[in-house]
Amino acid sequence: MKILEERIRQEGLVLPGNVLKVNQFLNHQIDPDLMLDIGKEFVKLFGEQKITKILTVESSGIAPAIMTGLLLHVPVLFARKQKSSTMPNELYSAKVYSYTKKIENTITVESKFLPASDHVLIIDDFLANGEAVNGLLKICQQANAQVVGVGIAIEKSFQAGAKRITDQGIHLESLAKIASFADNQVHFVGENYN
C-alpha cells in the first residue's frame, strides 16, 4: 500500500531492537484518514468472504480494526491485556509475549462476544514474531470460531511471524512489508537496495 509505505518512509523512526516507531500516525497520534484507507484496503482484500467480526488486541490494533469494522458493518472486538474488574469469569485467554515491552501478557476476551458462529478477521498494527496474532488465533480456537484471515498494517517480513501464520494455512495480508532496517533505513520487500 503505497501511501502507508510513504508515511513510514517520511515519519517512521528505526529504533534499536528492530523496532519501528510510527507514533505520528499509528501508535500514539492517529491519522484517521490513513486508518480509513487501511480499512478500505482490508475490505478489498477480504471483503468477498463472510466476516461477522473483527478481532484485534489493545491498543494499537484498534484504530485499523475499527475502520475495517465500520466499512463492513460488523462489531470490532479487542482482546484486553489486563483483566478488567468488570469482566466476569467466562473468558477466553492466551499468553502473549510482547515484542516491544518484553513482558508476557495474558490477553482475554469475554466468551459471550465470540460465539462459535463467528467468522473472524484478525487485524493488528504490526507483525513481528507472530505472538499477538498467535494469541488471537488461540482465542478463536477456544471459541470454535472460524478464522477468515489475518490483516496486518506493517509486517516486518524478516521476522518469524508471517511464516508462523501462513504455515498454519491461514490467509495473511500485510499492507506494508519491511524487508530490512539496514543502515537504520526502512527497506520494503521488492525494493532494490545495497
Rounded (10°) CA dihedral 83, 128, 19, 27 = -50
| Per-residue cell: 173 | 495480508
Can residue 127 be called a binding residue for ligand 5GP (CB under 6 A)? yes
Smallest distance from ligand 5GP to CB 28, Å: 9
Can residue 151 be called a binding residue for ligand 5GP (CB under 6 A)? no
114, 161, 162, 186: which one binds ligand 5GP (CB under 6 A) = 161
Site string for ligand 5GP, 62-101 (x = CB under 6 A): -------------------------------------xx-
Burial (CB count <10 Å: 0-12, 13-18, 19+), residue 143: buried
Query: CA triplet 43, 148, 30: central angle to 5 degrees?
Result: 45
Residue ranges binding ligand 5GP (CB under 6 A): 19-21, 27, 60, 99-100, 124-132, 161
